[in-house]
Structure 1
Amino acid sequence: MAPPPGPYSGTSTLALVARVSALSFGIVYGSVKLKILKAKAKSQKKAESKEHH
């Protein structure tokens, strides 16, 4: 079986793997960043409520 013709013919598997790993890295990085931002927002709210009391 020959690889399908296209811009990635020959290295189509490698390109696909690279794309999938980049996508999964982006998802993981995004969720971690979101968690950090949420934690920062929580601690800021706690600090603000302490100041008001």
Structure 2
Amino acid sequence: MAPPGPYSGTSTLALVARASALTFGLVYGTMKLKYLKAKDKSHKKAEAKAHH
């Protein structure tokens, strides 16, 4: 079975959907990581303050 050509609507749509899903995943992952790192940092800061 031959793969659909670059101009058949479904493959273009699938490609766009895949690309945007990948982009969304990367952006979401990066944001979540930054949030968790910031949360961890502030938690450690609060913990250090409590010890002193």
Q: TM bucket by the smaller chain?
A: 0.7 to 0.9
Higher helix share: 2
**What corresponds to 1:51 in structure 2?**
50
RMSD: 1.8
For residue 29 of structure 1, what is the amino acid of its counterpart?
Y
Deviation of the 1:38 alpha carbon: 0.2
- Listed as ranges, the matches of 1:1-53 within 5 Å are 4-5=3-4, 10-53=9-52
TM-score (norm 2): 0.83
TM-score (norm 1): 0.82
Give me the whole-angstrom Cα distance separating, in 2, the residues matched to 1:24 and 1:16.
Answer: 12
For residue 26 of structure 1, what is the amino acid of its counterpart?
G
Unaligned runs of 5+ in 2: none
Deviation of the 1:12 alpha carbon: 0.3
Q: Share of identical aligned residues, percent?
A: 79
**Number of equivalences:** 48
